[in-house]
Amino acid sequence: MRARRIGLAFLAAVSSVFLSGCFAGRLRCEVHPDGSSDLRLGLGIDTELAHLTGVGGRNWFEELGVEVDAEIQKEVADGMNWQYTDLKLKTLEELQEKINEMDWGEASIAKQNGILFDTFEFRVKGTEPLFDEEDAAKFESELVEFDPAGYVDLTWELILPGEVLEHNGSHFDPETNLITWYPDASESLTIYARSRVFNAWVIPVALVVLLAGLAIGAGIVVLAVIYLSRDRRRA
């Protein structure tokens, strides 16, 4: 059973009636210029529902089949009980692998090195809705009415280094480079963003090359002047 279906089974098990927006999921990812990243996963349940069903003491990530080694943090905010876990990943390959484990879609995260700029491209493409008709048919009798878009509130946040060139997010903060998506659980996920980072080392290297070129040019001029002076004296 895929992770998202395990997750849906867990959500249905703790809910006896349909409650709009009683569950929430958050993913926040910050990619650094060296390819490392910080990933924060958050799961939220309506506080009253969590108290009613007694799930507050459980590890929701285990229930959802998401393997995490980091400590689980808990908080109550805006009428929701939240559980968070923070992951530090060393490479883009590790980040891509972790996102693929979540079964939200096929992730493609790449860095292309250039002379002036390094380019980062972040893409997650789902092939089917997070909750499809098969899921709805399976749990419709338990939930009375199944509307994934209203039942689960999802937020995906991404921070890319450098200058953001393209994105298909719902909101972008140019001061922090924070791109935000609000995926519809009844549709397949499509996330795309691209940025570029200026290679600061190019400036000192260019200066060294320029100074070296000027020094060589000055040396050639001096040698030429000395050579011409000798010719004149001989003449």
The CA–CA distances, whole Å, from 167 to 52, 128, 180, 192, 193 equal 41, 21, 10, 5, 4
> What percentage of the chain exceeds 90 in pLDDT?
31
Partners of 42 in the β-ladder:
26, 84
Model confidence band, residue 47 (pLDDT cutoffs 50, 70, 90): confident
pLDDT tens-digit readout, 110-140: 999 878 888 999 999 987 776 655 655 554 4
**Residues near 63 by beta carbon (within 8 Å), at least 6 away in sequence:** 6, 7, 10
∠23-127-100 over CA atoms, to 5°? 70
pLDDT tens-digit readout, 61-99: 776 666 666 678 888 888 888 889 899 999 999 999 988
User: Strand 23-31 relative to strand 152-159: parallel, antiparallel, unpaired?
Assistant: parallel
* Region for 78 from its dihedrals, namely left if φ exceeds 0, alpha if ψ lies in -120 to 50, beta otherwise: left
